[in-house]
Amino acid sequence: MKRKALPFASYEWKIAWRYLRAKRAEGGVSVMTWISLIGITLAVFALVATLSVRSGFRTEIVDTILGSNSHITLYKTLTQDQYGNIDRGFEDYNEVASNLLSLPGVKRSAPLIRSQIMATYDTRNIGLEVFGISYENLLGLERIANPEEYSGDIHDFENGIAIGSGVARELGVQVGDKIKLISPNGVRTAFGMSPRVKQFKIVYIFTAGRYDIDRTRSYLPFSIAQEYFNREGLADEIEVLLDDPSNLAQAISHIENIVGPDIQLWTWRDASSSFLKALEIEDNVMFVLMSILVMIASMNIISGLIMLVKNKGRDIGILRTIGLSKGSIMRVFLICGASTGILGTFFGLILGCLFTLYIDPIFSIINVLSGGGVWDPSIRGIYSVPAELHLIDLIKATCLSLGLSFLVTIIPARRAASLNPVDALRYE
């Protein structure tokens, strides 16, 4: 009894490999094969590059949010005294901060003074967001205490003011210069409220990595800020840093158990919810668009295989006559189409990984060739193009490309298998 050949036997691979190496007379098939291969390679490369930049952008944005802002902020509800003055300050801020620090998962709790003022130097002016914070608590802000770039000495914080690099650039100042801070809520006089003006020495300039933070943020020692903003004995808010910023639900539950009903909580997700939602929508849209690009590239495989089946009609008839089954013929052409998809996917992954690893020099070259201004941090918020390789992104790109490549080969492969050998040889 003759033994039946196993599927995808060696002769099926040999026939498929012979067909992929088209002769000069069959150059059209060879050209279509190369077009399919290059198309899938570029499509997978674009998909991997998009996914890596998307992941890097999200990581960078979230990291700058968490590294330079509180994870949870506590506010008091507005209160009004007998004279009609409205206030929402904490009088017992040290006690509240101490109680918060004892909670599980809380890494740091700090009372803050927060206000918006105008800063001037020479003839230049800029609006500033000022945070009054203690030196110890300032060190807990990773993006401020350990930034990408800095000048000055953060350990000298008690003797002056710390400002973002964007603020320094706008004012044209450097460490050691003195800037004037002008607060509209100054000293009460017989003629009304007089603005308060005071000079502060710049002791530290930081680059947190977010354009909007570096261009508007400054820090004063907590006690000096209390005095300057007429907040003696008060704190405007209390910020909380968590060991795990993503575990907000549990932390909020613990905090609500120890604070009164007059306390309001505001998380980093609340503050950045619209931005994070926009990022998520953009992620989904870009993935769909890149998937369509991969699908279009995969369609070239159909064109190439249909041409191959048409040119190899005589061969198919002979192979069927000598005993190859419909299944064998189908597998031969499946191998032809799938090989193109596998090679294109492999080369696309290699190019995508190389692009991600060398994205900085690539964009530097593009920036030089285009005359600068390719990446505007004032629009995108960060200073360079971030990119991260994640295994899950590579798996997504591989599965999508191979899945589409295998799927589109079925139709021409079935057509080849259903070809009648008599009809194939009749006009040969």
- CB contact at 8 A, 126 and 170: yes
Residue 1 confidence class, pLDDT cut points 50, 70, 90: very low
The amino acid that residue 426 corresponds to is R
| pLDDT for the residue numbered 374 | 59
- Say which DSSP state 26 is in: G
Q: For the beta carbon of residue 288, count every other beta carbon within 10 angstroms.
A: 10
Mean pLDDT of the chain: 81
Helix-strand-coil split of the chain, %, nearest 5: 55, 20, 20
Share above pLDDT 70 across residues of the chain, in percent, rounded to a whole number: 82
Tens of pLDDT, residues 290-311: 888 888 888 887 777 777 777 6
Tens of pLDDT, residues 250-303: 888 888 888 878 888 888 888 877 777 877 888 888 888 888 888 888 888 777
- Say which DSSP state 139 is in: T
Cβ neighbors of 43 (< 8 A, separation 6 or more) are 290, 293, 294, 296, 297, 298, 344, 348, 401
| pLDDT for the residue numbered 25 | 47
Residue 97 has pLDDT above 70, yes or no: yes
For the chain, the straight-line distance linking the first and the last C-alpha, in angstroms and rounded, comes to: 34
- The pLDDT of 185-207, averaged and rounded, is 77
Instruction: Report residue 424 as tokens.
Output: 């194939």
Tens of pLDDT, residues 10-62: 767 777 777 666 555 454 456 777 888 888 899 999 999 988 888 888 887 77
Q: How far apart are CA 281 and CA 202, in angstroms?
A: 41
- CB contact at 8 A, 70 and 141: no
Tens of pLDDT, residues 348-386: 999 999 998 888 888 778 777 776 665 666 555 566 677
Q: How far apart are CA 105 and CA 179, in angstroms?
A: 39
Report which of residues 364 and 207 the model is more confident about: 207
Q: What is the pTM of this model?
A: 0.72
Share above pLDDT 90 across residues of the chain, in percent, rounded to a whole number: 18
DSSP string for residues in 100-121? HHTSTTEEEEEEEEEEEEEEEE
- The pLDDT of 122-129, averaged and rounded, is 89
117 phi/psi in degrees, rounded to 5 = -140, -175
Instruction: Report residue 350 as tokens.
Output: 């290699």
